[in-house]
Structure formats: C-alpha cells, structure tokens
Amino acid sequence: MDLAISSVRMHEPTVGGLGPEQLVHMYRLMYLSRAVDDREILLKRQQKVFFQVSGAGHEALQVGAALALRPGYDWFFPYYRDRALCLTLGVTPTEMLLQAVGASGDPASGGRQMPTHWSSRPLHIVSTSSSTTTQLLHAVGCAEAGRYFSHHPEAAAKADGDYRAFHDVEFHGDEVVFTSLGEGSTSQGEFWEAINTASNRRLPVVFCVEDNGYAISVPVEVNTPGGNISRLVANFPNFYFAEIDGTDPEASLRAFQEAVAHCRAGLGPAFVHGHVVRPYSHSLSDDDKLYRSSAEREADAMRDPLAKMQMRLLREGILTDEQINALEKELDHEAEEAATRALEDPLPKVESIPLHVYSEDLDPASSLFATEEVETPGSSSAGGGKTGREKGSTPRTMADLINACLHDEMRRDPRIVVYGEDVADASRETALSEVKGKGGVFKLTAGLQAEFGSERVFNSPLAEANIVGRAVGYATRGMKPVVEIQFFDYIWPAMHQIHNELALMRWRSNGAWAAPTVIRVPIGGYLTGGAIYHSQCGESIFTHIPGLRVVFPSNALDANGLLRTAIRCDDPVLFLEHKRLYRETYGRAPYPGPDFAIPFGKARIVRPGTHITLVTYGAIVPRAMQAAQKAQAQGIDVEVLDLRTLSPYDWEAIAKSVRKTSRVIVAHEDMISWGYGAEIAARIADELFEHLDAPVRRVGAMDTFVAYQPVLEDAILPQPETILKAIADLQTY
Ligand SMILES: Cc1ncc(C[n+]2csc(CCOP(=O)(O)OP(=O)(O)O)c2C)c(N)n1
Ligand SMILES: [Mg+2]
C-alpha cells in the first residue's frame, strides 16, 4: 500500500464508499497533522517555539476539504487552525516548524509571523493574518479576479514600466477559491459582507465554517442566535449548502466534492458547515477547564476524529493494531525530524527587518515617474482636445483632471477595476442609454462605466471593509483595484483591512505577496455645513502605517500626476482628495496628457522666501499662500512648501529650506495634537536644531471635530489669519 501523502488525490467526485487505500491516506494526513501539533507543543514547552495554536479535532474536516481541491490551481485563504488542510495541500512539516521556531528559512514569512499563519505561492495559499474573518473578503476578490482574467485573458499580459512587470498572472476558467473560519468568527461583519458579494455575484468561493462550539471561552450560542450558523445563512441565493459531522473525513470529502463541483460549474458559492471538536483548548495560552464542564469535555473527547478513524480502520479490518502503531511511529518520527531540521536553520538577520515594507522592485519616488514638465499655455491643443487625450491649455479643475487620469489609465491598463459606493454611472445598465449617469457622489468617476463597461466599473455594497478587503484579493492576483471610499469620515469600517491586511501583505509574507491598490478618498472640511461627518481629516493615522503610501495633492495638476504614479506603482496608496479643492478656481491646470506623472516624495516650492519656511499640504496650501502674501506686506518673506505626498515625504526639501530660513511652521487642517505636523516638527528639532533661530511652530485645527454651524467651523479650522498670526509671532520670536 502506497502511503505517500501526494499519491492519492481525490478532487474528482468519488463514487461509492472510499477504498482502504484512500481511508489510510486520510488517516495518515490527520495523524501527521496532530503529530506536528504535538511536536510544536513540546517545542513550546522547551521555549524553542513562542506560540502554539493547534488544529486538533479539526483534522478530518480539513483533510476532506483539501482533497477535494487542487493546490496550485485553486486558491486558498485558510485560517490558523488549518494545519491538516495545508499539510494535505503540500506544506511540509518542516516548513511548518520553520515558521514555528521563527527561522530565516520559514517560507511563509521569514520569521515574521506566528506559527500556522500560512502562505505558499506555489500552492496558491495567500498569506493569512491573525485577524479573524478578514481573509473571507480576500477570497471574494480573488474569485472576482480569476473570473475577470478568464473573460479578459489579454489583461494577464505583462507590461513594462509599471507594477505589472512584477506580477505574473495565473488563472483557470473553472478555478475555485477556498476560505475557512471558526464559528465564532461568523459574528464579524466581514463574514456577512463576504457572503453577500459571493452570493450576489455567484462567485466560486467555498466557505468552510469549522464549528468547534467555542470562540476561546465563548460558546456558540452566545455568538450565533439559535446556536447554528447554517440556519441563519440558509436564504442566501445561489449557494450550495452542507452541514456535516466534521469529525468524519469521508462525509467531509463528499460535501466538499459537491461544493467544489457546484462552484466549478459556475452556479455560485458553497457553504460547508462542519461540526468538529477542540480537544486541546483554544491555544497553549488557554485552559478550557476554566470554563467547560468535565462532562462536556469528555463528550468532545469521544468525538476526536483521530480516535474515531483509528477505530474504523481496525473495525473494518483495514489495518491491524501493529500496522497502526507502525504507521503512527513513522509519522511521529517524521514530525521529530522536521523539528530537528527547523531548529538547525539559521535565524533571520536583523538587517533584513526593513525589507519588503514597500516594493523592492519599483520605487514610486524614482525617476521613472518624473515626467513632470512645465506647461507653457497655448503650446498644445485646447481644453484637452476633442478626445480629451491631447494636452490642452484650458484650465481644468482637480475633479476634471482626476477623472481624466482615471479614463487614461483604464484605457492603458486592462487590469484596472474601479468600484465603490455610487461610482458607477448606473448599475441598471438598461438605464444608461437615457440617463447621464451618477459617476460618484462628487462625479469623479463619471463616464467610466459608460466607457469601460460594468465588469470594470461597478457599485459595491454599502460596506467599506467589503471594498478594501476585496481589493486585497484582486491585487494579490495581479489586478489593480482603484477603489473609492465615499467620504474619509466613513473609512473606519475599512481600517482593519487597510491596517492589518492591505499594508501588511508584503512585509508579513516576506515579499511573496503584495496588494498594490489605490484607495481614493474625498477628505476634509471648509465646506460650510459639512459638519462632523463630512469634514474629517486624520491623515496622520494612515501615515503611521508602514507599507502604505499616503498622497494629498493641493491642485489639479499634482492630483493628475500623483494619481497616475499611484496607479502605476507597486505599493498600496491612500490617495486623499480634498473636497473643497475639487472645483476651486485655485490650482486649476490644463490637461497634461496621458503620461504625465509626478514621483512621490518630491515637495514643491509654491512660493520661494527667505525668512520663514511654511511646510504644508492639501487645502492649507491656498490658505498659506494668502497668509504669505499678507505677511509680505509686513516685510516677512515666507517660503511655502507643498509636501504633496505625506508618506514618503520630502525631508530633503524641508531641511534645505529650514537651513536657509532658520524658522519653520508646519501647518495642516487636521487637529494639532498627535497630528502629522508633530512628527515633522520633532524631526526638525532633532536633526536641524543648530539651524533654528526659533522653536518649531505648528498650526492646525482645534482638538475637536468640525462643527456644523459655519461660525464654529471657521473657528475650529485654521484660517489664513491663524497662519498669518503664527508667521508674525514666529518672526518676532
Ligand atoms: C478580529 C479579531 N478579534 C479577536 C481576535 C482574538 N481571537 C483569536 S481567535 C478568537 C476566537 C475565534 O473563535 P472561532 O472563530 O470559533 O475559531 P476557533 O479558534 O474556535 O477555531 C479570538 C477572539 C482576533 N484574532 N481577531
Ligand atoms: Mg470555534
């Protein structure tokens, strides 16, 4: 009997009962998974491993799932309990233990992630985090990307000069995406956001709920009304549903084979709910004796899938006692050997820490993006030309030039999709022939759906985590999602995805995966009536996230050139668009043509001066200019520096100016305390102290939210007079 792990694949539907070879194969995988867990627990007790969470009790369900799928063909977004799943897919015990000991050879993360935080490019296991449920939306976006490529195979072609040069695309028309989670995690909103879109778009996603009855110490009935998630999801359209005994590998295999067949046939997603047990507590940091009765724990032990399967093999005469013992001994030895190899591996080098925070392949600050040129009015055709693609001389608004950039880039790059709330012209396509189209609440995406079709430009559900989570999935497949969050004030439901997933994907996978995405976000106040929930800033919260680029243009031309760089670059970018600047007279510019780009990290001297440096960005730029003009009348010559991008930012430009003027103000619209200016001011004080003739000053909003009544709004937000006063004070210091 051939017991090699890779020798028995069962992704084709099995007919009749499983044969002895298949049953032994499953037992082998289940036992090896447990043996690796036990070895890891031993290493943890010896303090050679620093965390342990096991897959014990879930093995049968997972082996059945993995055998129904095709590693390296289908796609996988598992969670931390999925050791038996990943083992069956082809992750080796050595690879698992390399991660557990934090070795440099850990192929999933190079010593950056806890054990069981899976990732394997060859097997199509996309890097997973510790956050429960975020992976489900990635699975949804991944399935959408697979479908998109199969409809548009030309989009898979590589291209030089942008992120595509570094993202190979693989796809199969009948590929399936697998994702899993615990029953407690079904309480997360993102679970419902994921099944919403999978159902609505009939996506080939298999959702697997591994129901062990507890979320750490919280029993299922506390998380799930009625105690059974299958009952709650039963009315979602297009799904295949199965609720099974997840301690029975044969039942599991059959359910997953049917689920996968449903998905491959294009009928929609599948939901397999397996009831499993958790014999080892939640993790080694937990002791379930603290909250579970002994009767309950004993009943669970009776359902241990390993013990059950062993009994079956004996009962059906498939293996003798001796054969089982020999097999288990062999597998224990395999786990032990794997541990020895893992412990021999060198530790990661401390110098490697900054690697893969951002793309190592494409630097958005590089000269590749320096096509910036000075426009000479009248030098080219008027108003952007009839096609809107020729350079023009008619000044256009920031809104126009952002919209023009989106049109240009979508024409150029078939991997771009645009979606968000209200961004389509009309979701009901039949209306398109008679209506003008919505194209975003600020009209920034107007005409994109009409030009590029509903497969590339569409409305999302009203759910911000859904928007960003799906983008992560799209981007890991090599697509370029350019999504919109309708207002900065409502970005917070997406914060978990931005902070823990989007920005971290590259670093946590040690460069194996990345999620280059553009999130466009209208931001800011000065709207007269915008009030608390339509005026927020808060950019420093995002510049505090390693891995994320943050851009904040102050005028139409910069917005056009920086958006182009954002779209072509290889990192996730938060692109902040000030609502007040969208249609202002200030900062209009002629259309600069379809290849105009501005590198990140290059400030612009908006106004040269010699007495005081004023570092700013966004809507403060025109206000600072007003203040600087008034200061000039008082004999103070202010140099105004527009940072344009906040992460990276142009330290050289700041330092050069401060060395010249010896006095500096950092001004922004956001609140002063803990704001973006605090970091810049601290660095100036730290590195340029000997060049300063006065303390570093900050100007910003009061430490409150923005009020509705214009009198209050005016007082809360910094005005040209506020800036002028700071200038005058600093000059006389
Ligand atoms: C978003 C988030 N909140 C809280 C946690 C901490 N946490 C880790 S596992 C867990 C319980 C998960 O229970 P369940 O979904 O049933 O999965 P199980 O561990 O039982 O397989 C919690 C609360 C987390 N990792 N992520
Ligand atoms: Mg659970």
The string of pLDDT tens digits covering residues 307-359 is 999 999 999 999 999 999 999 999 999 999 999 999 999 999 999 999 999 99
**Percent of the chain, pLDDT > 70?**
96
The string of pLDDT tens digits covering residues 372-414 is 654 443 333 333 334 455 677 899 999 999 999 999 999 999 9
The string of pLDDT tens digits covering residues 168-190 is 999 999 999 999 999 999 999 99
d(CA 568, CA 189): 32
Residue 384's pLDDT is what? Answer: 39
The string of pLDDT tens digits covering residues 205-219 is 999 999 999 999 999
In this structure, what are the phi and psi dihedrals at residue 674, rounded to the nearest 5 degrees? 65, 15
Ligand 1 center to residue 27 CA distance, Å?
27
Residue 199's pLDDT is what? Answer: 98
In this structure, what are the phi and psi dihedrals at residue 274, rounded to the nearest 5 degrees? -105, 130
Does the N-terminal peptide bond of residue 461 adopt cis geometry, omega within 30 degrees of 0?
no
Ligand 1 center to residue 216 CA distance, Å?
7
Q: Within 274-429, where are the H helices?
A: 294-302, 305-315, 321-344, 398-412
Interval 475-492 mean pLDDT: 98
DSSP track, 102-128 = T-TT-TTTTT-S-TT---BTTTTB---
Mark the residues whose beta carbon lies below 5 A from ion ligand 2.
182-184, 212, 215
Return mean pLDDT, the chain.
Answer: 95
Which of the ligands is closest to the CA of residue 495?
1
Find all residues with CB under 8 Å of 264, minimum gap 6, and list them.
174, 176, 204
In terms of Cβ atoms closer than 10 Å to its own Cβ (0-12, 13-18, 19+), residue 438 is middle
Which of the ligands is closest to the CA of residue 129?
1
How far from the centroid of its chain's Cα atoms is residue 129's Cα?
11
440 band by pLDDT with thresholds 50, 70 and 90: very high
694 band by pLDDT with thresholds 50, 70 and 90: very high
How far from the centroid of its chain's Cα atoms is residue 18's Cα?
41
* pTM for the structure as a whole: 0.96
d(CA 309, CA 23): 9
Catalytic residues: 534
Residue 387's pLDDT is what? Answer: 45
Residue 214's pLDDT is what? Answer: 97
DSSP track, 287-332 = -GGGTS-HHHHHHHHHT-HHHHHHHHHHHTTSS-HHHHHHHHHHHH
Ligand 1 center to residue 123 CA distance, Å?
25
Give the sheet arrangement for strand 638-642, strand by strand.
Answer: 604-607, 638-642, 612-616, 664-671, 697-701
The string of pLDDT tens digits covering residues 591-610 is 999 999 999 999 999 999 99
Of 492 and 16, the one with more pLDDT: 492
Lining residues, ligand 1, CB within 6 Å: 81, 130-132, 181-185, 210, 212, 214-216, 282
Nearest CA to ligand 1 atom 21: 182
Find all residues with CB under 8 Å of 376, minimum gap 6, and list them.
none
d(CA 82, CA 102): 19
The string of pLDDT tens digits covering residues 235-292 is 999 999 999 999 999 999 999 999 999 999 999 999 999 999 999 988 888 999 999 9
**Percent of the chain, pLDDT > 90?**
93
Residue 371's pLDDT is what? Answer: 87
Of 7 and 55, the one with more pLDDT: 55
State the closest ligand 1 atom to the C-alpha of 220, by its place in the atom list counted from 1: 16
User: For residues 119 and 126, is the Cβ–Cβ distance under 8 A?
Assistant: yes
Ligand 1 pocket test target in 82, 210, 216 with most atoms within 8 Å of CB: 216
